A and B are shown apart, each in its own frame.
Chain A
Amino acid sequence: MMMLDVQGINVYYGAIHALKGISFHLNEGEIVALIGANGAGKSTSLSAISRVISTRSGAIFYKGESIINTPPQDIVTRRIIQVPEGRRIFPRMSVVENLEMGAYIHNDRGKIEKNMEAMFARFPRLRERRKQLGGTLSGGEQQMLAIARGLMAEPELLLLDEPSMGLAPIIVEQIFDIIQDINQHGTSILLVEQNAQMALSIANRGYVLETGRVVLEGSADDLLDNPHVQEAYLGGGG
């Protein structure tokens, strides 16, 4: 079943035409990768879905309903959660407080406690550092906290923006394992990555973005074999 359907959206930053009629979709249960170079419009696409930035034209449907006029806080209550790029945790809040912020839309104290316990089980490092301020965590821990904070809202669709950015390969490996695991527990994932190899290795399908346009789409395996993708995103030889 089609969960998210983005149809020909246009986004401008002032005079800059960042998204030039982009269309893509995601079926329930899938991991879909958006790959592309810096500045291609990947983050903008996610922000358009979470409605943090507005689109000038085009349509976005979530579970068959248009969400183009839905304000960002209501997007969150519909369980579409964006984990912004660059490990944007709240630096002057403790780990626990960051997680509580993730559950801001929920009021059920017991459920919040239960979810937090689940996060600590999934990310033991965070339990060790629960009282530490977010800003004092290491890069990998911050990324885990950002993802955990996103999960606290119990997302049905998770928008992940470059979770591997600036992290050591071994930590990237861990994080991608976690992403796969989250997906297997029933959360659909739209994954934005510059690291095309990693992204396509766990995705079902993928889209290649270049300067605000979708230039290629297909199953992850097809994209991995595509000469253009190999040339431009997988370092030539593949």
Chain B
Amino acid sequence: MNNLHIQKSAKNGLVFAVIIIFLALIGFTVTAASMIQKVFGVEVSVGTMPKYSALIAFLAFIGLWNGWRAAKQTEEHPLQAGHAILAGLASGFVTGLFALGYSLIVGTLQSNGVNVRVYLSSLSPESIIYFLFGQSPLSGGFIQLSLSTVSAAFGALLVIFWDRSQHQFLIWKQKLSAWGNASWPAKLRRNVFVGYIAMGVVLLLLVILPRTWGSYWNYVMGTVGIYVLLGIGLNIIVGYSGQLVLGYVAFFAIGAYSFALVTAPEPHNLNWNFWIAILVAVVASAISGVLIGLPILRLRGDYLAIVTLGFGEIIRILIKSDLLKEITLGPRGIRNIAGPTLFGKSFSSDSDFMYLIILAVLLSIFLARRWQESRIGRAWLAISQDETVAQATGVDTYKYKLLALAIGAAFAGLGGAIFASRNQFTGPEDHVLMVSINVLCLVIVGGMGSIPGVILGAFALKGLPEILRELESYRLLVFGALLVLMMIVRPEGLWPATRPKYEENSPPPVTVEGGSR
């Protein structure tokens, strides 16, 4: 253990100090504590703070992580227990010192009657007192300091255990995978019928669930489904053809509005049939994709991203503006949008909509697959990897990029139309930049270019926050955290794209022991 190690640990401590203070400033400490308490089955009543034990659990978790990282940073092989614990202690102590300082500053401000809420909306007096465990700033700060130091030391201990058990762990893992390959799960996996049975079960669930799980779940899963639709569309543009388009919401808006305008009684009183209106929305979006693509698809990379980003906003602002007020009703939005009918009967209960969305998703998956595996898909793949060379092999890159944009836009149009119809309303605020970012995030998180990835991504980014209501206001934070985590754990996405036709074997491994795979 030398100065360098201490320095590294102190730096690590500093990073965690920033994390803790940041989380405290945005009020996330309280949210996290409430969630922990809920996990243990104790509801937090409205207007009160969760128990202190929940806060301790949360802070201790961060402390453990702190110590873990500090001890790992020593990069010793094998790790010496004394050094690891010292690193953990040092890092935890530094973090604790800053937490102490923060407690003193905020606590003193608070007790002197300064209303910090003016500057930071989520820093309520209660949350400050909660952070200080109901004590004075000084003793609250010292609790923080000792908690941080002790938990970081434990975190370091964990690393030592981990280090010692790694070898054992590896042996176990090998045994487990050998068993897995030899026994029935593997045989099952190799059996073609299992695939069909699994597919059958999924289909059956898709048929049964919308009828049985109630309107709340239909609403949540319907939203997820619409985002799957959007994800598959954007995936064609970004994942397949490799064009970074940021204003995807524009096509969603065009779909929603063209659907709304031809079906709603106001402002034009056209009252068209649902299915024709859907077609109109899809075609309108696809055409707008081509029209926008014509001038801008010669741009590459960052330029394309920025221009399309602007385009998304322009559409929203146009819809909202006085300029088009006669046509779009401006900020008020369009109400009483028609629901679907089938053979003259209304087909717009929440479960009907769920079926509609499932159908749309299945159709889009089918189409996306077909295109991906065709000559067009091959051209997209080439363009996404090296546009110049694709051109040099005779691919009309401009045409295929335009095609990708039009198809992606059409999917967004379909999604927008269903969305507007389900809500019976659409307004400019349905089409904010955040929609584009959400869809792009789920494509990236799921795994660029992969359809199962898009579905997983939609569940993770649209389903989870809906289920964990608490996280709603921290969605951006969770996005950020998820994205960072993804980069580290699964840089290729949750379910990366593979093209099963060819194996992706890299050069054979240098040493093969035991000869089994």
Q: Is the pairing of A and B real?
A: yes
Interface residues, chain A, with chain B CB atoms under 8 Å away: 50, 52, 71-73, 76-77, 81-84, 88-94, 96-97, 100-102, 104-105, 131-133, 136, 149, 153
The answer to whether B504 and A133 touch across the interface, beta carbons within 8 angstroms, is yes
- Residue B389 at the A interface, CB < 8 A? yes
Complex Cα distance, B385 from A229, in Å, reads 38
Q: Which chain A positions have C-beta within 8 A of B392?
A: 50, 52, 72, 76, 81-84
Q: Contact check: which of A77, A84, A89, A132 meets B394 at CB < 8 Å?
A: A77
- Residue B184 at the A interface, CB < 8 A? no
The contact sample of 29 A-B pairs, CB cut-off 8 A, is A52-B388, A72-B392, A72-B394, A73-B396, A76-B392, A81-B392, A82-B392, A84-B388, A84-B389, A84-B392, A88-B388, A88-B389, A90-B381, A90-B385, A91-B385, A92-B381, A94-B502, A94-B504, A97-B378, A100-B378, A101-B393, A104-B393, A104-B395, A105-B394, A133-B506, A136-B506, A149-B393, A153-B393, A153-B394
- Residue B382 at the A interface, CB < 8 A? yes
Residue of A nearest to B381 (CB): A93
Q: Which of B393-408 contact A (CB under 8 A)?
A: 393-396
Question: Shortest distance in angstroms between A215's beta carbon and chain B's nearest beta carbon?
Answer: 28
- Residue B322 at the A interface, CB < 8 A? no
- Residue B379 at the A interface, CB < 8 A? yes
Q: Mark B269-287, 1 if CB is under 8 A from A, else 0.
A: 0000000000000000000
Q: Contact check: which of A92, A131, A149 meets B385 at CB < 8 Å?
A: A92
Complex Cα distance, B289 from A205, in Å, reads 50
Q: Which chain B positions have C-beta within 8 A of A89?
A: 389
From B379, B389, B506, residue with most partner A Cβ within 10 Å: B389
Complex Cα distance, B388 from A90, in Å, reads 11
The answer to whether A132 and B505 touch across the interface, beta carbons within 8 angstroms, is yes
CB-CB under 8 A for A136 and B507, given A71-B396, A131-B502: yes
Complex Cα distance, B207 from A57, in Å, reads 65
Q: Which chain A positions have C-beta within 8 A of B505?
A: 131-132
Q: Which chain B positions have C-beta within 8 A of A102?
A: 393
The answer to whether A90 and B389 touch across the interface, beta carbons within 8 angstroms, is yes
Q: Contact check: which of B379, B386, B507 meets A104 at CB < 8 Å?
A: B379
Q: Which chain B positions have C-beta within 8 A of A73?
A: 391, 394-396
Complex Cα distance, B393 from A81, in Å, reads 7
The answer to whether B503 and A131 touch across the interface, beta carbons within 8 angstroms, is yes
Q: Which chain B positions have C-beta within 8 A of A71?
A: 396
Complex Cα distance, B503 from A230, in Å, reads 49
Q: Which chain B positions have C-beta within 8 A of A153?
A: 393-394
Complex Cα distance, B502 from A72, in Å, reads 29
Complex Cα distance, B386 from A94, in Å, reads 14
Q: Contact check: which of A88, A105, A133 meets B386 at CB < 8 Å?
A: A88
Complex Cα distance, B386 from A52, in Å, reads 13
Known: A90-B382, A93-B385, A149-B393. 14 other contacts (CB 8 A): A77-B394, A81-B392, A83-B392, A90-B381, A90-B386, A90-B389, A93-B381, A93-B382, A94-B504, A101-B393, A104-B379, A104-B382, A105-B394, A133-B506
Q: Which chain B positions have C-beta within 8 A of A50?
A: 392
Question: Shortest distance in angstroms between A153's beta carbon and chain B's nearest beta carbon?
Answer: 7
Complex Cα distance, B33 from A48, in Å, reads 65
Complex Cα distance, B392 from A97, in Å, reads 15
Complex Cα distance, B389 from A131, in Å, reads 21
Complex Cα distance, B390 from A94, in Å, reads 15
Q: Which chain B positions have C-beta within 8 A of A88?
A: 386, 388-389
Residue of B nearest to A100 (CB): B378
Q: Contact check: which of A77, A81, A90, A96 meets B502 at CB < 8 Å?
A: A96
Question: Shortest distance in angstroms between A146's beta carbon and chain B's nearest beta carbon?
Answer: 9
Complex Cα distance, B499 from A96, in Å, reads 13
Q: Which chain A positions have C-beta within 8 A of B504?
A: 94, 133
The answer to whether A76 and B506 touch across the interface, beta carbons within 8 angstroms, is no
Q: Which chain A positions have C-beta within 8 A of B395?
A: 73, 104
Q: Which chain A positions have C-beta within 8 A of B394?
A: 72-73, 76-77, 104-105, 153
Q: Which chain A positions have C-beta within 8 A of B503?
A: 131
The 4 residue pairs across chains A and B that have the minimum distance between CB atoms: A76-B394, A105-B394, A94-B502, A73-B396
Question: Shortest distance in angstroms between A189's beta carbon and chain B's nearest beta carbon?
Answer: 16
Q: Which chain B positions have C-beta within 8 A of A76?
A: 392-394
Complex Cα distance, B122 from A172, in Å, reads 67
Complex Cα distance, B385 from A132, in Å, reads 16
Q: Contact check: which of B381, B386, B507 meets A132 at CB < 8 Å?
A: B507
Q: Which chain A positions have C-beta within 8 A of B389?
A: 84, 88-90
Complex Cα distance, B378 from A81, in Å, reads 19
Complex Cα distance, B506 from A131, in Å, reads 9
Q: Which chain B positions have C-beta within 8 A of A131?
A: 502-503, 505
Question: Shortest distance in angstroms between A137's beta carbon and chain B's nearest beta carbon?
Answer: 9
Complex Cα distance, B394 from A96, in Å, reads 17
Question: Shortest distance in angstroms between A104's beta carbon and chain B's nearest beta carbon?
Answer: 5
The answer to whether A52 and B391 touch across the interface, beta carbons within 8 angstroms, is yes
Q: Which chain B positions have C-beta within 8 A of A101?
A: 378, 382, 390, 393
Complex Cα distance, B389 from A105, in Å, reads 14
Complex Cα distance, B504 from A195, in Å, reads 35
Complex Cα distance, B389 from A102, in Å, reads 10
Residue of A nearest to B507 (CB): A136
Q: Which chain A positions have C-beta within 8 A of B507?
A: 132, 136
Complex Cα distance, B340 from A224, in Å, reads 80
Question: Shortest distance in angstroms between A101's beta carbon and chain B's nearest beta carbon?
Answer: 5
Question: Shortest distance in angstroms between A128's beta carbon and chain B's nearest beta carbon?
Answer: 11
Complex Cα distance, B393 from A88, in Å, reads 11
Residue of B nearest to A106 (CB): B394
Complex Cα distance, B503 from A96, in Å, reads 11
Q: Which chain A positions have C-beta within 8 A of B506?
A: 132-133, 136
Complex Cα distance, B392 from A21, in Å, reads 24
Q: Mark B358-397, 1 if CB is under 8 A from A, else 0.
A: 0000000000000000000011011001101111111110
Complex Cα distance, B398 from A71, in Å, reads 11
Complex Cα distance, B496 from A92, in Å, reads 13
Q: Which chain A positions have C-beta within 8 A of B388?
A: 52, 84, 88
